[in-house]
Amino acid sequence: MEALLEGLNDAQRAPVLQKDGAMMVIAGAGSGKTRVLTMRIAYLMQQGVDAFNILSLTFTNKAAREMKTRIGTIVGNSEAKNLWMGTFHSVFAKILRIEGHHLGFPPNFTIYDSQDSQRLISAIIKEMGLDKDIYKYKQVHSRISSFKNSLITVKAYYQNPELMEADAMAKKPRMGDIYKEYVDRCFKAGAMDFDDLLLRTNELLARFPEVLAKYQKRFQYILVDEYQDTNHSQYLIVKALADRYQNICVVGDDSQSIYAFRGANINNILNYQKDYEDVKVYRLEQNYRSTKNIVEAANSVIEHNKTKLDKIVWTANDNGPKIIVHRSLTDGEEGRYVASTIFEEKMNKQLKPSDFAILYRTNAQSRAMEDALRKREIPYRIFGGLSFYQRKEIKDVLAYLRVLTNPNDEEGLKRIINFPARGIGATTIDRLVIASKQYNKSIFEVMENIQHIEIQINNSTKNKLYNFVNMIKSFQITAENADAFVTAEEVARKTGLLQELKKDGTPEGIARIENIEELLNGIRDFVEGQKEVADATGSLAEFLEDVALATDLDKEVDDVDRVSMMTIHLAKGLEFPYVFVVGMEEDLFPSGMSMNTRSELEEERRLFYVALTRAEHQAYLTYTESRYRWGKLIDAEPSRFIEEIDESFLDIQTPMESYRYKPLVDTDIFGEPDKSKLRLKKPIAGSAPTVGKPSADQLQKLRKLRPQGSSTPPLQTDDLNGNLKAGSRVEHNRFGHGEVLGIEGIGQDQKAEIRFQTGGIKKLLLRFAKLKILE
């Protein structure tokens, strides 16, 4: 026990030692709150609290896993495994699997991801004959989502004149009808969307006192991390569960609340003291993570926010280097700056790639960074964005698995019913949907009974449907007798998905096949892994739930040491020695969508605070003068957040003033500069300028804007392919070594014909192929 408390400072120790009652830990960035949570749980267990009686809600499943492991080393692994730990969504999905039948849901209900929800909403809008330009499916989805997160059910909506009026004013008087149809359809499909996992849990606890009592008794001690980012729905769940024992510990930092856009309510933490009796408040204000420069710079930024709790974050760490502010001409150059800085720092200071992180506001920004890192041959990993599980081929395989697990899953079914093509077209599907409404059955049930119902479908199509149903049923039989891996493999083979891809033979097709193989491997690993988990069976349903709720951070990582790239949102809770925050520009960060109200802007500022405080040793802020956005080069100006940092913490490599002397050539008065031209030309340093107006890259050279002290070598332009010619030896990460036989096409369409040692001649689009030139 003593050992457990060692290494905690007084402030950290106090909340660990308070065993009972309601408490709140206001924890500044880098103050060791994860440590406190971990130790508190370990301490509870050492005091004799049964692991089964502890519920710990974390922000990512990865965080939960890591905490479990750490607790395991203190109290023993077998005990630690019994802890209920995970995100709100995953913990309550598990509970809903057990208790959902009270609400009429099957235990194997499907979890719809955002795309499923949006497709369904889209279909509903169309079926209702509404104008899709007025009822935009994304807007409708986010509105429905916010209803759910505020616990406004369809019934509550219709009883709320204000809401209905607001929608009527927005020219969407049928909003409620769409909402109703959407909820009905999800229910009929045996599906819950992300918001349902919380909303339905609330419904369950509210409507079934015996269920509430069961879980109240079970969860005698509740801990919630990142409480500042809980929404109303989550708040109520916690409140209901904690009501009996009131042993609740919430941890959070109001300065790091960055999820208002998905309903997070900062008042949950600001008003916490009113919600429970005799709340003890602890503050962790000493930052162990970052240098003085970073901590104080971050403080100086967050000062600009009006809404916040009193808290002073300080550190006893060294001053450290100042924050480097760097300006680039374009996003391409920004990428090159970041890549070469990483390259040099890594060399000079003997650092690993994993010591660096590149953080950005929007996923789209990863592109330029990726290109630059790849050229420098710096290994990187992108978190978020288009995740593996969102790729089409993966979603297709998963859709089959979903449907065989839950045949009523409408969105899954629509995805695969005619893919690969089997002659079941749009009209047939429409008629099935109509019949399913008419008979109040799911589409699959309609198909099963197609012979016995009246439907306008000809016999040959009926036969095709019959075959499809039989195929799914045969998969179900496999699933009953074999594990998830075997089932998935059979699906991939028998549906013809793999054949479909094999026959197209393009590099993209091959990549897709490999992705599917990777998915199968993933399933196998999962099945293996589940054997060690207490109450798991390794079933397909478990796998699908895991996939649906996995954060990108949860992904298994390989052992290659890499630079991390992710949005700032995803970086919350993480730390890196060297952090680049790129795209520090008005309209991008703060986002143009979030500058309209004070509260939105303050959230952006908190986001910046989060970004800065990820850095342990050195932070870099970069911005550009112009950047490609929606395909066009547009002007940019430095983010106000840079100015908000007390200047004494900054090392401004490119003085802001010089920005004003920007020559006007930059924004092309003749028309927009064409990106393809930038890519096309092959300016080896010193080559004669191409005819016509100077390109951005040439301008860059002409103007010699590069700051003193930057040791960035004058890299060649984007064009790696410039050196590629017949006879070149190249390496491809998938196909291995090969020899270029010829080049054809220009610009975006340029292809190289390559003979690979592994056999086979392939034509690769240079735009996609990641070729390394060997000689």
Q: Given candidates 34, 114, 515, 716, which one binds DNA under the rule CB under 7 A?
A: 114
Nearest CA to 27 out of 309, 292, 285 is that of 285
Q: Given candidates 12, 31, 53, 60, which one binds DNA under the rule CB under 7 A?
A: 60
The length of the chain in residues reads 775
Q: Given candidates 3, 312, 421, 534, which one binds DNA under the rule CB under 7 A?
A: 421
Nearest CA to 509 out of 493, 498, 521 is that of 498
256 is catalytic: yes
Collapsed DSSP state (helix, strand, coil) of residue 324? strand
Instruction: Report the distance separating Cα 340 and Cα 620, nearest Å.
Output: 13
CB of 128 to DNA, least distance (A): 13
CB of 715 to DNA, least distance (A): 20
Looking at residue 246, what DSSP letter applies?
-
- Residue 311 touches DNA, criterion: CB under 7 A: no
CB of 615 to DNA, least distance (A): 19
Instruction: Report the distance separating Cα 198 and Cα 194, nearest Å.
Output: 7
Strands 632-635 and 626-629: antiparallel
* Cβ partners under 8 Å of residue 220, min gap 6: 49, 53, 54, 245, 247
- Give the contact letters, 341-370, x = binds to DNA (CB under 7 A), - = no: --------------------xxxx------
Segment near DNA (CB under 7 A), from 26-34, 114-122, 697-705, 732-740? 114-122
Yes or no: say if 580 and 357 are a contact pair by the CB < 8 Å rule: yes
Sole residue written with tokens 């509404």: 130
35, 361, 402, 614: the active-site residue: 614
Yes or no: say if 644 and 325 are a contact pair by the CB < 8 Å rule: no
316 marked as part of a ligand binding site:
no
The H or E element spanning position 15 is helix 10-17
- Residue 549 touches DNA, criterion: CB under 7 A: yes
Q: Given candidates 552, 602, 697, 718, which one binds DNA under the rule CB under 7 A?
A: 552
- Residue 593 touches DNA, criterion: CB under 7 A: yes
599 marked as part of a ligand binding site:
no
13, 33, 346, 679: the active-site residue: 33
- Residue 52 touches DNA, criterion: CB under 7 A: no
Triad 377, 746, 731: Cα angle to 5° = 30
Collapsed DSSP state (helix, strand, coil) of residue 23? strand
Strands 751-756 and 576-581: unpaired
**Dihedral (CA of 479, 483, 485, 486) sign:** negative
Collapsed DSSP state (helix, strand, coil) of residue 450? coil
CB of 346 to DNA, least distance (A): 26
Instruction: Give the CA distances from residue 755 to residues 308, 724, 737, 775, in Å, rounded to whole numbers and listed in that order.
Output: 63, 14, 9, 15
Yes or no: say if 412 and 110 are a contact pair by the CB < 8 Å rule: yes
Q: Rank residues 34 and 653 by Cβ distance to DNA and give the closer one.
A: 34
12, 38, 256, 341: the active-site residue: 256
34 is catalytic: yes
The distance from CA 362 to its chain's CA centroid, rounded to whole angstroms, is 11
116, 226, 585, 719: the active-site residue: 226
Q: Rank residues 133 and 162 by Cβ distance to DNA and give the closer one.
A: 133
Q: In what order do the strands lie in the sheet with 221-224?
A: 84-86, 54-57, 221-224, 248-252, 23-27, 280-284
Q: Rank residues 609 and 628 by Cβ distance to DNA and give the closer one.
A: 628
Instruction: Report the distance separating Cα 622 and Cα 328, nearest Å.
Output: 7
Q: Rank residues 244 and 462 by Cβ distance to DNA and give the closer one.
A: 462
Strands 729-732 and 736-744: antiparallel
Segment near DNA (CB under 7 A), from 30-38, 131-139, 267-275, 324-332? 131-139
Q: Given candidates 31, 90, 110, 293, which one binds DNA under the rule CB under 7 A?
A: 90
Give yes or no for a cis peptide into 420 (omega within 30° of 0).
yes
Q: Rank residues 51 and 140 by Cβ distance to DNA and give the closer one.
A: 140
Segment near DNA (CB under 7 A), from 81-89, 157-165, 171-179, 401-409? 81-89
- Residue 94 touches DNA, criterion: CB under 7 A: no
Q: Given candidates 160, 273, 449, 591, which one binds DNA under the rule CB under 7 A?
A: 591
225, 393, 697, 718: the active-site residue: 225
- Residue 498 touches DNA, criterion: CB under 7 A: no
Segments in 572-660 forming alpha helices (H): 598-612, 640-644
Q: Rank residues 196 and 489 by Cβ distance to DNA and give the closer one.
A: 196
Segment near DNA (CB under 7 A), from 10-18, 88-96, 173-181, 612-620? 88-96
Which 654-713 residues touch DNA, going by CB under 7 A? Answer: 675-676
Segment near DNA (CB under 7 A), from 19-27, 158-166, 170-178, 629-637? 629-637
622 marked as part of a ligand binding site:
no
Amino acid making up residue 299: N
Q: Rank residues 247 and 428 by Cβ distance to DNA and give the closer one.
A: 428
Segment near DNA (CB under 7 A), from 113-121, 368-376, 507-515, 660-668? 113-121
32 marked as part of a ligand binding site:
yes
Residue 273, φ and ψ in degrees, nearest 5 = -65, -20
226 is catalytic: yes
Q: Rank residues 26 and 55 by Cβ distance to DNA and give the closer one.
A: 55
Yes or no: say if 80 and 112 are a contact pair by the CB < 8 Å rule: no
Q: Given candidates 630, 660, 663, 708, which one binds DNA under the rule CB under 7 A?
A: 630
Strands 286-287 and 323-328: unpaired
Cβ neighbours, 10 Å, residue 14: 17
Q: Given candidates 48, 631, 663, 692, which one binds DNA under the rule CB under 7 A?
A: 631
Q: DSSP readout, 405-433? A: H-TT-HHHHHHHTTSS--S--HHHHHHHH
**Dihedral (CA of 563, 567, 568, 574) sign:** negative
184 is catalytic: no
Q: Rank residues 136 and 292 by Cβ distance to DNA and give the closer one.
A: 136
Instruction: Report the distance separating Cα 200 and Cα 206, nearest Å.
Output: 10
Yes or no: say if 85 and 56 are a contact pair by the CB < 8 Å rule: yes
Using CB under 7 A as the binding criterion, the count of chain residues that bind DNA stands at 54
- Residue 569 touches DNA, criterion: CB under 7 A: yes
Residue 318, φ and ψ in degrees, nearest 5 = -65, 165
Segment near DNA (CB under 7 A), from 82-90, 158-166, 303-311, 574-582? 82-90
33 is catalytic: yes
718 is catalytic: no
Yes or no: say if 548 and 540 are a contact pair by the CB < 8 Å rule: no
What does the block give as tokens for 638? 């430095």
CB of 11 to DNA, least distance (A): 29
- Residue 763 touches DNA, criterion: CB under 7 A: no
Cβ neighbours, 10 Å, residue 493: 11
Q: Rank residues 150 and 418 by Cβ distance to DNA and give the closer one.
A: 418
CB of 324 to DNA, least distance (A): 24
**Dihedral (CA of 429, 432, 438, 444) sign:** negative
What does the block give as tokens for 387? 């995740």
- Give the contact letters, 425-464, x = binds to DNA (CB under 7 A), - = no: xxxx--------------------------------x---
Which 178-217 residues touch DNA, going by CB under 7 A? Answer: 194-195
According to DSSP, the residues that pair with 279 across neighbouring strands are none
Instruction: Report the distance separating Cα 469 and Cα 64, nearest Å.
Output: 40
Segment near DNA (CB under 7 A), from 171-179, 625-633, 693-701, 725-733? 625-633
27 marked as part of a ligand binding site:
yes
Which 386-415 residues touch DNA, going by CB under 7 A? Answer: 386
What does the block give as tokens for 466? 């019959």
Report the catalytic residues.
33-34, 225-226, 256, 614
Residue positions in the annotated binding site?
27-34
Q: Which residues bind DNA (CB under 7 A)?
A: 60, 87-90, 113-114, 119, 122, 126, 132-133, 136, 138, 194-195, 258-259, 261-262, 361-364, 384, 386, 418, 421-428, 461, 549, 551-553, 566-567, 569-570, 591, 593-594, 628-631, 675-676, 748
Residue positions in the annotated binding site for ATP?
27-34
